Structure 1
Amino acid sequence: MVGSPRAVVADDSHFMRSVISDILEEGGIDVVAVAKDGREAVEAVTETDPDVVTMDVEMPEMNGIEATERIMSTTPTPILMLSAHTDENADVTFEALEKGAVDFFRKPGGEVSMEMSRLQDQLVEVVESVAAVDPTDSSDVASARTAGSGVGGSGGVTDGTAGADPAGSAAEAAATEYVDDPTVVIGSSTGGPTVVEQVLSDLPLAADLRVLVVQHMPGGFTGRFAERLDARSEYDVREAEDGARIGGGEALIAAGDYHMEVTGYRRGRLRVGLTQDPPVNNVRPAVDVTMETAAERITDPLAGVILTGMGEDGAAGIRAIHGAGGYTVAQDEATSAVFGMPKRAIETGCIDGVAPVNDVAAAVLDAFEVT
């Protein structure tokens, strides 16, 4: 992409189309077309060949998920979903991510113009990062999304090879001997939800992991995200609450707008606390907060994983886990929608392994195998 990103703005509200377009234009993004429904969005993408689409979830004629599916099948283009804070919109948003949308941004409520103004820098940054994604660049990303939605809790480790036998992989995992009381902390951002789903689906219950996930995601969506992960993996997954405890076979998802700290660890059970301390790396929840407190308090085997995302969150956390003797993995550039966080983590010199998304879980399991 040369020059300013070119965007199509799709929203059924004339007011929101104007507000979003003005914010993007002021941020240096060229809005080449607007659309009031999904059908117009598909036509606009075909006619203008933009670098990015901001897509409202609920629209007449054709909604955001249908438009996303149509665009990705005919004219693959990076799509950022704009979703209101409702349970129904959250469900549709995650479906759109499965259909190929890169990420989503929560639409403001209340005094829309005032809140949008407050969020304008963040929106421009996210749109720019999504515009930089090449949706046709890697079949690995598409296959990971497909596998992530289809594994459905088989627990088989995906190795990316055609014809892999999930049942055989599960049996192999069950026969493997793992270290006692292992914990893995996973951090991700832009492009992360489907990738986290893939990795968690690939972790077998036989490994008896304690799993902590920090996905940059606003409040109101992390609960639904936890429910989806719970349905798609062998692990008992829930949204973190202050004082929550987990043991082997359980996972916590950091709640939107709260840092998740590891506050205690004893005999294979860990406890977390939620805080609204100031953002770290301009985000809350921050991967660094969870990883650094995990490295400080967990005395049994520990691994840290950094997946796709923009920015540098997680780099300090990886350094802390490495310093505590833990194992560290970063997703590779080819399968990362945005190679920001993994790149920064790798640049610390504290990453033990770099892997495509289909091999991330296997890398973690290798570190926890008894040899």
Structure 2
Amino acid sequence: MAGVRPRAVVADDSHFMRSVISDILEDGGIDVVGQAKNGRDAVETVADLSPDVVTMDVEMPEMNGIEAVDRIMSENPTPVLMLSAHTDENADVTFEALDKGAVDFFTKPGGEVSMEMSRLEDQLVEMVTSVAEVDATAATGSEKQTSAPTSSTRTYVENPTLLIGSSTGGPKMVERVLSELPLEADFRVLIVQHMPDGFTERFAKRIDSRSDYDVREASHGDRIGGGEALVAPGGKHMIVSNYRSGRLRVKLTEDPPVNSVRPAVDMTMNSAAEVITDPLFGVILTGMGEDGAAGIKAIKAVGGRTIAQDEETSAVFGMPKRAIETGYVDDVLPIDDIPNGILNTAKAEVN
């Protein structure tokens, strides 16, 4: 409700970090109604106070963040934002927390006990505010898995390229879409998920293990053909630099952030629209901000097909809403219908 300050619980085993995070949130217009020193304490505090959002440290004694998220989502569903140190081990653990129901994660600059949180205070407040608006009850519902049509019932256009952009709440949505795309459709897939360096490689490996497509984190100069997918690495824009004979090439740049993010969906979609002459498909999934709106417009301008996730199934209806507002989105669909929505638009005309 407009004008109402979100109510937050801050869970971290460091007293210093609890104080720093609480001060940042309070200064940003968020009421910190409780603090928890470990996962067990967090579960009890959420049950007692019914906050709008929880910031959850990953590594804590007695009960870690993953176990705490699992308990909270089963007993008192509440939007949870994981606060993760930037380490390989924490990257794996953080994705496990997302599997348990956490909405998204925020990377602590400088490690578990960070002296640098203040330089990212605006981003933290914005993310906590967005996560607080998520319907955690809906997120705990069963995830319907639809079966994609097989090649025996469908013929697809030749050399299609699929571009997917997402942010807050996006990792699970991207995984679901890719897991339901049949290899027979032969897409070249480019994925831009707002995520820091070190996490995108793990993200790509997760999608690869859940999909028939060959998925990897993009490297500078990478080339891909049908049945392959690239994930833009954290901290770098992924640009389509060349397209020939059904294979596309990307380059990575450290140009300034676009829409306050890097990688930016717009950078990838705009470059694809400029270079690729075969069928293009653009999809914008859940996320805050406006990244992807200009890219959707560029794809549509060259005859591509576009889809946005609907408000009901989006954790944060920011990016899809902005894309829809351009007037260049062909279909607005719930997440369960997006794979078939993509395949329907990629169906070849049979004479």
| TM-score of the two chains, using structure 2 as the length reference | 0.96
Amino acid at match of 1:63: N
Say whether the 8 Å CA contact 1:19–1:113 is kept in structure 2. no
Residue in structure 2 matched with residue 31 of structure 1 by the alignment: 32
Amino acid at match of 1:218: P
2:43 counterpart SS class: helix
Amino acid at match of 1:341: M
- Distance in 1 (CA, whole Å) between partners of 2:165 and 2:142 is 21
- Distance in 2 (CA, whole Å) between partners of 1:135 and 1:230 is 27
1:297 to 255, 270, 275: 275
2:136 counterpart SS class: coil
Question: Shift of the alpha carbon at 1:294?
Answer: 0.5
1:177 to 151, 155, 169: 155
Question: Shift of the alpha carbon at 1:115?
Answer: 2.4
- Distance in 1 (CA, whole Å) between partners of 2:237 and 2:188 is 18
What is the root-mean-square deviation in Å for CA atoms of aligned residues?
1.5
- Distance in 1 (CA, whole Å) between partners of 2:114 and 2:26 is 16
Amino acid at match of 1:143: S
Question: Shift of the alpha carbon at 1:85?
Answer: 1.2
What pairs up with 1:67-106 in 2 under 5 angstroms? 67-106=68-107
2:298 counterpart SS class: helix
- Distance in 2 (CA, whole Å) between partners of 1:129 and 1:174 is 43
Amino acid at match of 1:5: P
Question: Shift of the alpha carbon at 1:361?
Answer: 1.1
What pairs up with 1:14-53 in 2 under 5 angstroms? 14-53=15-54
User: Where does the alignment leave 5 or more consecutive residues of structure 1 unmatched?
Assistant: 148-157, 159-165
Moved over 2 A (4+): 110-115, 141-144, 172-175
Change (3 A) 1:31 1:82: same
- Distance in 2 (CA, whole Å) between partners of 1:133 and 1:249 is 34
Question: Shift of the alpha carbon at 1:49?
Answer: 0.7
Amino acid at match of 1:49: S
How many percent of aligned residue pairs carry the same amino acid?
A: 71
What pairs up with 1:263-274 in 2 under 5 angstroms? 263-274=241-252
Question: Shift of the alpha carbon at 1:312?
Answer: 0.5
Question: Shift of the alpha carbon at 1:286?
Answer: 0.4
Say whether the 8 Å CA contact 1:9–1:20 is kept in structure 2. yes
Amino acid at match of 2:338: V
Residue in structure 1 matched with residue 122 of structure 2 by the alignment: 121
- Distance in 2 (CA, whole Å) between partners of 1:123 and 1:214 is 21
Question: Shift of the alpha carbon at 1:88?
Answer: 1.5
Deviation readout 1:148-200 (Å, 9 max, x if unpaired): xxxxxxxxxx1xxxxxxx4xx45x34542111100000000000000000001
Residue in structure 1 matched with residue 56 of structure 2 by the alignment: 55
- Distance in 2 (CA, whole Å) between partners of 1:262 and 1:118 is 32
> Which has the larger displacement, 82-91 or 240-249?
82-91
1:238 counterpart SS class: strand
1:69 counterpart SS class: helix
1:185 counterpart SS class: strand
Residue in structure 2 matched with residue 150 of structure 1 by the alignment: none
Deviation readout 1:16-55 (Å, 9 max, x if unpaired): 1111111111111111111110000001101111000000
1:285 to 228, 243, 263: 263
| TM-score of the two chains, using structure 1 as the length reference | 0.91
Question: Shift of the alpha carbon at 1:64?
Answer: 0.5
2:142 counterpart SS class: helix
- Distance in 1 (CA, whole Å) between partners of 2:30 and 2:232 is 32
